[in-house]
Each structure stands twice: as structure tokens, then as C-alpha cells.
Amino acid sequence: MATYLTTAEAAKTARKHPVTVRKALESGELHGSQRSVGGRWTIREDCLEAFIEGRPCEHKARGKRSNVTPIAGRVAS
């Protein structure tokens, strides 16, 4: 199972300011997800590692267009 980080945890791990991490998420430079627009971000640890290393994460390689997944578009499991 994937490990998810908050914006603050990701900033501490990447040695960046939390605002820098949020801006990277909003621009799509760092892949993360939100339950709704303006909501809290969650970042997969492997996506953060890719961001730190300067490479696209596996999600971007698959061509996902947006960091935000609308609740209505999610499939219940």
C-alpha cells in the first residue's frame, strides 16, 4: 500500500518551504491529489521522490491531466 504525506510532511522531507510544495502541486510539477478544489493535498511518497529527483512520477508518465479528482468521478470500492 502506498504511503501518503501531507504538504507539511512533504516539505520537510524535500527540504522545501510548504508554500513551495503547494505551488508545485498547483502547477502540476508535483503530483498529488485533493478531495475537492481548495482542499488538503495528499502526496504519494513515490511522487515526492520523483519530484526531488527531478523526474516525472509514474502517474504523470501515464498522462493524468489533473491533480484534482472530483468526488463524483470516483468509483466506490
pLDDT recorded at residue 73: 53
Going by C-alpha positions, the residue among 8, 77, 1, 17 that lies closest to residue 43 is 8
Residue 72 vs residue 43, higher pLDDT: 43
Residue 56, pLDDT above cutoff 80: yes
C-alpha cell of 2? 502506498
Q: Count the domains in the chain.
A: 1
The answer, yes or no, to whether residue 72 has pLDDT greater than 60, is no
Q: Which residues of 42-68 are buried (b: 16+ CB within 10 A; e: fewer)?
A: bbbeebbebbeeeeebebbeeeeeebb
Residue 66 pLDDT greater than 60, yes or no: no
Confidence of residue 69 (pLDDT cuts 50, 70, 90): low
Range of the domain at 53: 4-73
Give this prediction's pTM: 0.73
Read off the CATH number of the domain in which 9 is found.
1.10.1660
Within 1-77, where are the H helices?
7-14, 18-27, 45-53, 58-61
